[in-house]
Amino acid sequence: MKDKVALVNNAGILTQSLIHEMTVETWDRMIDVDLRSVFLLTRHVVPHMIEQKSGRIINIASQIGQKGGVKLSYYAAAKAGVIGFTKSRATKRDSKVFSRRRQYWLIQPLVADAKP
């Protein structure tokens, strides 16, 4: 029996900056690590999942992707992108791999986001 393929996209970086103080390089790095990596790794594993007719992809996002945050505009943009990407991939039309299974998406607060 072949090994089952699973992917957890959990890469993320976070620095705080006001938009007018942020460099293009900082923006690009945040988008590359927090959003582009999700696309690249997913694109890489999906053919294997289709071949074996099963698999799981878990994408880690943040509530900041839904509500934004002071000095976090680019982090929020990247995580909102992950949320949209995840919802789109979970549709029956977009994914032959998961067509017989119900899909769920969940955004859990990170410890840093949680309120006591």
Annotation marks residue 75 as catalytic: yes
- Of 9, 75, 78, 89, which residue is the catalytic one? 75
User: Quick check: 9 and 38 in contact, CB under 8 A?
Assistant: yes
Distance between CA atoms of 64 and 72, rounded to whole angstroms? Answer: 8
- Binning the chain into helix, strand and coil, the percentages to the nearest 5 are 45, 5, 50
Query: Given its phi and psi angles, is residue 71 left (phi above 0), alpha (psi -120 to 50 degrees) or beta?
Result: left
**Active-site residue list:** 75
